[in-house]
Structure 1
């Protein structure tokens, strides 16, 4: 049931962001979809046991963290910073498992995937706020003009 709820939320939030979001929302939605595709391919080649640190998921989590970080630094939005914080939890899970392999596999799993739902909900809220700003102000610039400002 949890998986079905996740897939429904995943499809709903990413499609909503692609349909109604600005450039940052669409970039995050496409990035998150690409992460899902990469995750499926990692599971195709290596089973999800969580008994030891998973280098495939570490690479995927770091790539998506980096993408979220770049969007957060460039976007004229606050919510991408929340995504960076949430994705940092997944990276901490890998670090914790690497440093202490006796961590219960279920705990490692939860630390990796617990942020998936909040990431999607944050994306949907960010898209909604973008639409609201468009309605109120008529415009909502997507990107900062310079990183130095």
Structure 2
């Protein structure tokens, strides 16, 4: 049931962001969708039991962390900082497993997937607020300027 709820949330939030979001929302949605495709391919060729470090998911989590961090540093929004912070939990999970292989497999799995639901909710929240600012102001700048004025 949890997986079905995740897929419904995943499809609805990413579609909403791609359809109604500004550039940062679309960048996050596109990145998250791309990483989901990569994750599906990984599961097709490699099944992890989470008893040891999972190098495939480590790479995936690092890639999406870099994408979220990049958007957070460039976007004229606050919510992408939360995404990067949440994704840091998954990256730390791999570090913890690398340093202490006795961590329970369920704890390692939970740390990897714990941020999945909040990330999607934040994406929908960011998209909603983008639409709200467009309605109120008629514009909503997406990116910070390159200068530090």
TM norm structure 1:
0.98
Find the residue that maps to 2:65 and give its secondary structure.
helix
**Which sections of structure 2, spanning at least 5 residues, go unmatched?**
none
Return structure 1 stretches of 4+ with deviation > 6 angstroms.
none
The alpha-carbon deviation at position 147 of structure 1 amounts to 5.7
d(CA) in 2 for partners of 1:14, 1:32: 8
Tell me the equivalent position of 2:34. Answer: 34
Cα deviation per residue 1:47-86 (whole Å; 9 max; x = unaligned)?
A: 0211101011101100110011111111000000000000
State the Cα distance separating 1:45 from its structure 2 match.
1.3
- Structure 1 gaps, min length 5: none
Q: Partner residue of 1:62?
A: 62
State the distance in 2 between where 1:93 and 1:148 align. 35
Once the two structures are superposed, residues 2-27 of structure 1 have per-residue CA deviations (whole angstroms, 9 ceiling, x without a partner) of: 00000000000000000100000000
Q: Identify the range of structure 1 (76-85 vs 40-49) with the bigger mean alpha-carbon deviation.
A: 40-49
Alpha carbon RMSD of aligned pairs, Å?
A: 0.8
Paired with 1:26 and 1:106, the residues of 2 have a C-alpha distance of 32
8 Å contact from structure 1 (residues 73, 147) kept in 2: no
Figure out how many residues of one structure are paired with residues of the other and give that number: 149
Q: CA deviation at 1:148?
A: 3.3
